[in-house]
Structure 1
Amino acid sequence: MSAPAHRTSREVGFQHCDPAGIVFYPRYFEMLEEIITAWITELADAGTEAALLRERREAPRITNLECRFARPTLLGDVIDFEIDVVEAGAERVRLAYRVVRDGDERIAGEVGLGWYRFDPHPRATELPPTLHARLRERGNEQ
């Protein structure tokens, strides 16, 4: 199995869990969006999401999300978020993700991303050329 295009780890904190100490499922999505946004912003040479919005008035946004839950994750677990580029079009990106603990899959699915310009209202636009090229380089398509 090849290495994912992007991988990062997080420790599950109290704020991620329900009273039983199990990750409350919407928290996975919050962590996933944070990780994807930071990675895409880095690939776009924008520094931070705040800088991207302030200076360019644009940012990536999740347009659809699919998820399969395999096993629960507990308070204190260190989980790895593995992200692969499935498809990188001029206006849309499709990513596959897995969340694993010690190689054991917890959740997995796909995320659709669009690139939006805020002037003043959000509207879909093409990905910046550098970002598009970098995503294609990391992708599974040839």
Structure 2
Amino acid sequence: MHFRMPQKVTFKYCDPAGMVFYPRYFEMINDAIEAMFDAVLGWPFEEIHKDRSVPTAAIEVRFDAPSRHGDLLHLDLTLMRIGRTSMALQSQAACAAETRFRAEQTLVCVGPDGRPEPWPDPVRDKVTKLLEGRP
């Protein structure tokens, strides 16, 4: 795991039964990715989005158990690989010891023309060090 973000399940995430409505998990994942880019990679979204973006190109999610209003989730992000223009990562959310969902996703670095472009060298270097287990 390279980044952990706590997330309390608030009313806005829930359906009338008090459980997280599954599309809201995607918002939580994106919030965790945005926080990780800032805290771990030193490339905050407000800087990225001046002339680039990092959209999700693919995502696969397995929902293991429901989350309810008031639960405290821990979203753990693990970088898996970095390519020339893409990055793979895994997300997992758990409440206490119970896994709620697991996701595998691919992000792409996109330039101002809307086409994939190489990751900036400082970002690539940080990800590579994390993948190699170096500080």
TM-score (norm 2): 0.90
Match of 1:29 in 2: 26
Structure 2: gaps of 5 or more residues = none
Is the CA contact (8 Å cut-off) linking 2:92 and 2:99 kept in structure 1? yes
Deviation at 1:95, TM superposition (A): 0.3
Code of the residue aligned with 1:74 in structure 2: it is R
Is the CA contact (8 Å cut-off) linking 1:85 and 1:140 kept in structure 2? no
Code of the residue aligned with 1:134 in structure 2: it is K
Query: For 1:90 and 1:41, how far apart are their aligned partners in 2?
Result: 20
Q: How many aligned positions are there? A: 133
Superposed CA RMSD in Å reads 1.7
Match of 1:105 in 2: 99
The alignment partner of 2:29 has SS state of helix
Structure 1: gaps of 5 or more residues = none
Deviation at 1:34, TM superposition (A): 1.8
Is the CA contact (8 Å cut-off) linking 2:57 and 2:107 kept in structure 1? yes
Question: 1:139 aligned to 115, 131, 134, which one?
Answer: 131
Question: 1:123 aligned to 93, 107, 115, which one?
Answer: 115
Query: For 1:101 and 1:139, how far apart are their aligned partners in 2?
Result: 26
The alignment partner of 1:117 has SS state of coil
C-alpha deviations, 1:76-129, integer Å up to 9, x for none? 1010001111111121110011100112100002010101112xx422111111
Identity of aligned residues (%): 24
The structure that is strand-richer by fraction is 1
Match of 2:5 in 1: 8
Cα 1:44–1:83 change in 2 (3 A) is closer
